[in-house]
Amino acid sequence: MTDTLKDLMEFQRETEALAQVAGRLGWDQETVMPRGAADQRGEEMAAMESVLHARRTDPRLADWLDKAQPATEADARAVALIRRSHERTARIPARLATELARLTSVAQGIWAEARAAEDVAAFLPTLDQVVRLVREKGQALADGGDAYDALLQDYEPGATGAGLADLFGTLRPRLVALREAVLGASRQPSPLKGHFPADKQMALARDMASAFGYDWAHGRIDKAVHPFCSGSGDDVRITTRTVESEPFNCLYSTIHETGHAGYEQTVDKAYRLTLLGTGASMGVHESQSRIYENQLGRSAAFTSWLYGRMQGTFGDLGVADADAFYATVNRVGQGYIRTESDEVQYNLHVLLRFDLERELIAGRLAVTDVEAAWNDRFARDFGFAVDKPSNGVLQDVHWSVGLIGYFPTYTLGNVYAGALHEALRADVPDLDVHLAKGDATPATRWLGERLQRHGALREPEATVTAACGFAPTAEPLLGYLEAKFGRIYGL
Amino acid sequence: MTDTLKDLMEFQRETEALAQVAGRLGWDQETVMPRGAADQRGEEMAAMESVLHARRTDPRLADWLDKAQPATEADARAVALIRRSHERTARIPARLATELARLTSVAQGIWAEARAAEDVAAFLPTLDQVVRLVREKGQALADGGDAYDALLQDYEPGATGAGLADLFGTLRPRLVALREAVLGASRQPSPLKGHFPADKQMALARDMASAFGYDWAHGRIDKAVHPFCSGSGDDVRITTRTVESEPFNCLYSTIHETGHAGYEQTVDKAYRLTLLGTGASMGVHESQSRIYENQLGRSAAFTSWLYGRMQGTFGDLGVADADAFYATVNRVGQGYIRTESDEVQYNLHVLLRFDLERELIAGRLAVTDVEAAWNDRFARDFGFAVDKPSNGVLQDVHWSVGLIGYFPTYTLGNVYAGALHEALRADVPDLDVHLAKGDATPATRWLGERLQRHGALREPEATVTAACGFAPTAEPLLGYLEAKFGRIYGL
């Protein structure tokens, strides 16, 4: 290794270690921090951000990047990722970065108040500022190209608005049709009945994480307001939450976060504390959480095992048998909220947001028209009207904190999960035998070997293509959904 | 505030915020960190230390310190403390700092192995290196003065080896005499009997912390291998441990750490994230933990309340009444280990270490002679022989990690606690009425107002003098111990 490369890699390694520390501080804040410590914690986080920003804009980086001569594929990729990050940071004027940081630090509070008050107008001036500044950021990054495409690269390197629009155009009509058929079917699953104490949910959640191969020596599970996964490398923690009337919330959030954690825990240890030592993109990350949660966790085989475990834990569930339980787990209901949605409708929520945010950044949709556009699109795709802003345009935090370009990665993750599931089933024909015993590790090992261990060594789509042995398209996901829900609903 | 002062204070504030983050990482490591995360955590801690070191040696500091013109007493003190820290750091050659860091990072492991193997010889070469490097550090800091005195300033600014030797010279003969009288008395307290489940100990520990005014909105309690207190300002966490046969371990560790935490939680919020926003010294800090634990927590009044609580929690304790329980709580036994010692013998352990380490640094005692010197002194002060190195010279971690000059602050804390207790009792004559109801807050409020809220605004001894209204001497502690144990043991 040349001296320059060594300097660069050591500097980057220390930066990544500090980023892990900042991430752990976020975990602490959401799980164990005393309630009176918020103000001081704000100063502590700001100090960490200031240190990280100084390192990411360190003037030595440009020189090191010029001179570094990587010899291995991994080193070459690590240097390329540092260069990409450095070039993007350099393109954003300091004034714009400061304005964005200042705005988004207050915008979330304004959004939360507006949502609580069901007052879209109170949020619009702030949303207008966010859109203007994020658009400006996109234009600075695009350097003459498309601003939305440029923003996407923060979340999904290689993706374009046009490419996603094509992909989503295939999904939308068939998902709308499937939704109508399912909700109109004469056969409808029964709801779950029973009492589900929080401590028993948590004990079962731990077993679910174990069933999916969660590595407890390098992680832990705690309760938080929102489920999340935090950390990379040797310390990857997950959180979940409990609602005593609704155990699936806790259990499937846990499997979902175990998917994210499994990815982080399985990346080759040689990549630890480098830019290769994490997921390839938000979309690829989401593909792992989704295939764990849905294609595996909500399968007939796995739910047949879960049915027994839940009866043993909670007593009578008010469903006739394992088949009925499978239908209940996969029940499609009429609802407004993306995060509470099911496999059939979830992507319709995402597609709506993708189209609106792309129009907002392009300047073809004014923020004053966004509520009407949202409600109109919702009525068309979901067949009923939004009743209040908190169930509509004010439901998600993303835009208020400047996350524009993030939403489509949710559906991209589902598309990738569909493709990976098709390849997995072909490679592991007896998977259901194991799932029916509460053991998903033959699947998670396959994903680990084919995809997770490579971290960010390859570009996102190439990562999925290499794992599947074919390029991902919408077809596997659509075929899976139509077959699965056709069977459950007797279509 | 001048611009220079503002720059200095803002820079220092960010440094202190980062130091809090590093401290929180330490808490995490001892309480919740997954067991497989140790190596990565080592890199994360090293990255934080590297950032902190760079800030503490930042070349701008010297210039700012030259030009800063503080207008208030607090600003003047804050600048003086930054200057003191900066000048000390500047005096230590980089080569020596690196060698010390490298050595002490491995020495602890070598000490732990030697202790487990009861093999003093295996530790001596390492101890020799530690003593040489720490002596060199002391000489660099002393700039021609006494090396041990210079080392003391890291823990107890203003203290000198000669001054401490005088103070301890008053303590030693009377403590040796008291020890002999107590252990030779015909009346001996009975040991505690019963079963003490860990979860019930923890529940009672929480009540103990509350009884001493612990602020739960700005802290939390967890289990760890060693009890400690972590953090300053708005997030001050404590830990304790449980031994199912020995509930006083958990309960009195909790009160002890609540004393440290009470100090940190009570410092004037205006000093938060400055060098004033913590305790005045190790000794003053220890005075708070000790007065909470001993003069208050082991008083007849408080233990009369605890007796009822423990009977309610654990059932029969095998003691006749509250008086007998008080004697049991304060039972003096024959033992080797400092950390398990009682109020009578604890300081004799410390005095032994102080005399040996002072001789080591002065070069008057060779490390090859330290075991013999320890055993000889132990036999003289404790009246029986050390049976094995883990009960003697290998029992404490301190020297292996370079902490020389730290031990005397334990006894200084006890001396300060004795003086503060005398002043407290004079000012709050009905204190026992409250303690007997399980409420120590009239005492902790007095300490808060007189001492804790001032943080490091004044030098350590001045802090205690101002709180007491008189200069602390050994007499209040000795008078208190002789009266208390004279009564319990019927001397």
Q: Hey, which residues does A239 pair with through a beta bridge?
A: A222
Instruction: Compute and round to an integer the Cα radius of gyration of chain A.
Output: 23
For chain B, 491 residues long, give each residue's pLDDT as a single digit of tens.
678 999 999 999 999 999 999 999 999 999 999 999 999 999 999 999 999 999 999 999 999 999 999 999 999 999 999 999 999 999 999 899 999 989 988 999 999 999 999 999 999 999 999 999 999 999 999 989 999 999 999 999 999 999 999 999 999 999 999 999 999 999 999 999 999 999 999 999 999 999 999 999 999 999 999 999 999 999 999 999 999 999 999 999 999 999 999 999 999 999 999 999 999 999 999 999 999 999 999 999 999 999 999 999 999 999 999 999 999 999 999 999 999 999 999 999 999 999 999 999 999 999 999 999 999 999 999 999 999 999 999 999 999 999 999 999 999 999 999 999 999 999 999 999 999 999 999 999 999 999 999 999 999 999 999 999 999 999 999 999 999 999 999 99
At residue A221, what are phi and psi to the nearest 5 degrees?
A: -120, 135
The chain A residue lying nearest B50, using CA atoms, is: A14
Length of chain B: 491
| Long-range CB pairs of A34-37, under 8 A, 24+ apart, other chains included | A34/B216, A34/B217, A34/B218, A34/B219, A34/B220, A34/B234, A34/B235, A34/B237, A35/B217, A36/B215, A36/B217, A36/B218, A36/B234, A37/B218, A37/B234, A37/B235
Q: Do B47 and A217 make contact, defined as CB atoms within 8 angstroms? A: no
Q: What is the DSSP letter of B221?
A: E
Which member of A20, A43, A48 has the closest CB to residue B273?
Answer: A43
Contacts of B273 in chain A (CB under 8 A): 40, 43
| Chain centroid offset of residue A125 CA | 28
Cα separation, B470 vs B477, whole angstroms? 14
Rounded to 10 degrees, what is the CA torsion of B295, B297, B300, B305?
A: 160
Q: Which of residues 201-220 of A touch B (CB under 8 A)?
A: 215-220
The chain A residue lying nearest B21, using CA atoms, is: A44
Q: Do A44 and B20 make contact, defined as CB atoms within 8 angstroms? A: yes
Interhelix angle A247-266/A198-211, rounded to 10 degrees, is: 30
Nearest to A207 by CA among A318, A310, A330, A301: A310
Q: Hey, which residues does A240 pair with through a beta bridge?
A: A223
Q: Does B272 touch chain A (CB under 8 A)?
A: yes
Contacts of A14 in chain B (CB under 8 A): 47, 50
Which member of A18, A32, A218 has the closest CB to residue B220?
Answer: A32
Number of CB pairs < 8 Å for A and B?
Answer: 100
Contacts of B32 in chain A (CB under 8 A): 32, 220
Q: Hey, which residues does A221 pair with through a beta bridge?
A: A238
ipTM of the complex: 0.93
Contacts of B14 in chain A (CB under 8 A): 47, 50
Q: Do B17 and A47 make contact, defined as CB atoms within 8 angstroms? A: yes
At residue A225, what are phi and psi to the nearest 5 degrees?
A: -60, -45
The chain B residue lying nearest A235, using CA atoms, is: B37
How far is the CA of B491 from the CAs of A491, B186, B257, B450, B486, in angstroms? 93, 9, 32, 35, 5
C-alpha distance from B438 to closest chain A C-alpha (Å): 25
Rounded to 10 degrees, what is the CA torsion of B358, B362, B365, B371?
A: 30
Cα separation, B203 vs B223, whole angstroms? 12
Q: Scanning the structure block, which residue is given the tokens 């301190």?
A: B398
**Are A399 and A129 spatial neighbours (Cβ–Cβ below 8 Å)?**
no
Q: Does B50 touch chain A (CB under 8 A)?
A: yes
Q: Does A69 touch chain B (CB under 8 A)?
A: no
Which member of B14, B36, B233 has the closest CB to residue A47?
Answer: B14
Nearest to A396 by CA among A484, A336, A461, A455: A336
Q: Does A34 touch chain B (CB under 8 A)?
A: yes
Amino acid A339: pLDDT: 94
Cα separation, A416 vs A291, whole angstroms? 9
Nearest to A414 by CA among A469, A353, A481, A459: A481
Contacts of B50 in chain A (CB under 8 A): 14
Which member of B47, B216, B217 has the closest CB to residue A17?
Answer: B47
Q: Does A233 touch chain B (CB under 8 A)?
A: yes
Q: What is the DSSP letter of A317?
A: -
- Residue A491: other Cβ atoms inside 10 A: 14
Cα separation, B273 vs A39, whole angstroms? 12
Which member of B20, B40, B217 has the closest CB to residue A234?
Answer: B40
Q: Which of B13, B15, B16, B24 to mutate to test the interface with A (most CBs of A within 10 A)?
A: B24
Q: Do A37 and B234 make contact, defined as CB atoms within 8 angstroms? A: yes
Length of chain A: 491
State whether residue A469 is helix, strand or coil: coil
Q: Does A47 touch chain B (CB under 8 A)?
A: yes
Which member of A35, A48, A217 has the closest CB to residue B21?
Answer: A48
Amino acid B105: pLDDT: 84
| Long-range CB pairs of B311-314, under 8 A, 24+ apart, other chains included | B313/B200, B313/B203, B313/B204, B314/B194, B314/B195, B314/B196, B314/B200, B314/B247
State whether residue A239 is helix, strand or coil: strand
Question: B284 CB contacts (<8 Å, ≥6 apart)?
Answer: B263, B413, B416, B451, B460, B463, B464
Q: Which of A10, A11, A24 to mutate to test the interface with B (most CBs of B within 10 A)?
A: A24
For chain A, which ranges sit under pLDDT 70? 1
The chain B residue lying nearest A21, using CA atoms, is: B44
The alpha carbon dihedral of B363, B368, B371, B376 has a sign of negative
Cα separation, A19 vs A275, whole angstroms? 11
At residue A238, what are phi and psi to the nearest 5 degrees?
A: -120, 160
Q: Please name the amino acid found at residue B200.
A: K
Q: What is the DSSP letter of A470?
A: S
Q: Which of B156, B257, B286, B343 is catalytic?
A: B257
Q: Does A21 touch chain B (CB under 8 A)?
A: yes
Contacts of A56 in chain B (CB under 8 A): none
User: Global pTM?
Assistant: 0.94
Q: Do A34 and B272 make contact, defined as CB atoms within 8 angstroms? A: no
Contacts of B264 in chain A (CB under 8 A): none
State whether residue A103 is helix, strand or coil: helix
Q: Do A21 and B17 make contact, defined as CB atoms within 8 angstroms? A: no
**Are A285 and A279 spatial neighbours (Cβ–Cβ below 8 Å)?**
yes
Q: Do B41 and A235 make contact, defined as CB atoms within 8 angstroms? A: yes
Q: Do B48 and A21 make contact, defined as CB atoms within 8 angstroms? A: yes
Which member of B41, B51, B273 has the closest CB to residue A18?
Answer: B51
Contacts of B234 in chain A (CB under 8 A): 34, 36-37, 39-41
Q: What is the largest CA-CA distance in chain A?
A: 70
Cα separation, B112 vs B395, whole angstroms? 9
Q: Hey, which residues does A238 pair with through a beta bridge?
A: A221, A229
C-alpha distance from A232 to closest chain B C-alpha (Å): 10
Q: What domains can be seen in chain B, in order of their start residue?
A: 3-145 (no CATH), 146-491 (1.10.1370.30)
Contacts of A218 in chain B (CB under 8 A): 34, 36-37
Contacts of B28 in chain A (CB under 8 A): 24, 28
A257 is catalytic: yes
Q: DSSP labels for B404-444?
A: -S-THHHHHHHHHHHHHHHHHHHH-TTHHHHHTTT--HHHH
- Residue A215: other Cβ atoms inside 10 A: 18
Name the average pLDDT for chain A: 97
The alpha carbon dihedral of A299, A301, A307, A312 has a sign of negative
State whether residue B237 is helix, strand or coil: strand
Q: Which of A16, A43, A180, A257 is catalytic?
A: A257
Contacts of A217 in chain B (CB under 8 A): 34-36
State whether residue A290 is helix, strand or coil: helix
Cα separation, B50 vs B45, whole angstroms? 9
Q: Do A43 and B220 make contact, defined as CB atoms within 8 angstroms? A: no
Q: Do B234 and A273 make contact, defined as CB atoms within 8 angstroms? A: no
How far is the CA of A432 from the CAs of A290, A298, A476, B187, in angstroms? 18, 12, 18, 73
**Are A150 and A405 spatial neighbours (Cβ–Cβ below 8 Å)?**
no
Q: SS3 helix, strand, coil % of chain B, rounded to 5?
A: 70, 0, 30
State whether residue A7 is helix, strand or coil: helix
Q: Does B199 touch chain A (CB under 8 A)?
A: no
The alpha carbon dihedral of A185, A410, A463, A447 has a sign of negative
Contacts of B36 in chain A (CB under 8 A): 215, 217-218, 234
Q: Does A223 touch chain B (CB under 8 A)?
A: no
Q: Do A14 and B220 make contact, defined as CB atoms within 8 angstroms? A: no
Q: Over the stretch B214-261, which tens digit does the pLDDT of each residue have?
A: 999 999 999 999 999 999 999 999 999 999 999 999 999 999 999 999
